[in-house]
Amino acid sequence: MVFCPRATYDLTLDELRESHLVVGIGVFGDRTMIRTEQEYKEASSRLLAEKDRLSGHEEHFKSEGFTGERLERLIAPLWSFHQQLEEEINAYEQIRRGSFTAIKNLHGIGQLLIGARIYRGISQRELADQLGVHESQVSRDERNEYHGISVDRAGRIFEALDFSLDSELTVASGK
């Protein structure tokens, strides 16, 4: 149960997790990408349900006599998770439109690889077939955002997706 100064709110930790464990976002705000159309559909559906649920929480807190700053402190974490989910959905939609974020020093290359697959509209299974690997390998790589991927392997994936990654070398300091 969550204890509030004037009332005990009947919400278990599991219910909090259920309320906030949405596709692509962990309980503590760990951000990952929505990687599949199914995750996108689930996240979109969850967003609508969460909005209603959060409004219900707010009404409940108000009925318990919470107002002003105290009410905001109770509601803020709940709305924060909602906003994070909304951001993940927006990011997925931007990727589908072909809007990619620039990366620096190859940080974020995993998200670019995932984004390229999403933009092309192919499934993890289809990419795996093109690469000659098992679907579980692509799924695992995407779940880890291709952490530690070699430049050669990233290049093969970009080629399979018919993308090119252009880079520019610049001097980092005035030397």
pLDDT of residue 128: 96
Residues forming a β-bridge with 104? 107
What is the rounded average pLDDT of the residues 54-62? 88
Q: Which amino acid is at 68?
A: G
pLDDT at 12 over 60: no
pLDDT of residue 141: 94
Residues forming a β-bridge with 25? 22, 31
pLDDT, tens digit, for every residue of 112-170? 999 999 999 999 999 999 999 999 999 999 999 999 999 999 999 999 999 988 877 77
**Using CA atoms, how far apart are residues 19 and 104, in angstroms rounded to an integer?**
35
Q: How many CB atoms sit inside 10 A of residue 33's CB?
A: 20
Domain ranges of the chain: 2-96, 109-160
What is the rounded average pLDDT of the residues 75-80? 85
Contact 22, 46 (CB under 8 A): yes
pLDDT at 1 over 80: no
Q: Is 73 left (phi over 0), alpha (psi -120 to 50) or beta?
A: alpha
Backbone dihedral angles phi then psi of residue 77, each to the nearest 5 degrees: -65, -35
pLDDT at 20 over 70: no
- Burial level of 53, CB count in 10 A (0-12/13-18/19+)? middle
pLDDT of residue 9: 39
Q: Could you say which architecture CATH assigns to the domain 109-160?
A: Orthogonal Bundle (1.10)
Provide the whole-model pTM: 0.65
In the chain, % of residues over pLDDT 70? 81
Q: What is the mean pLDDT of the chain?
A: 80
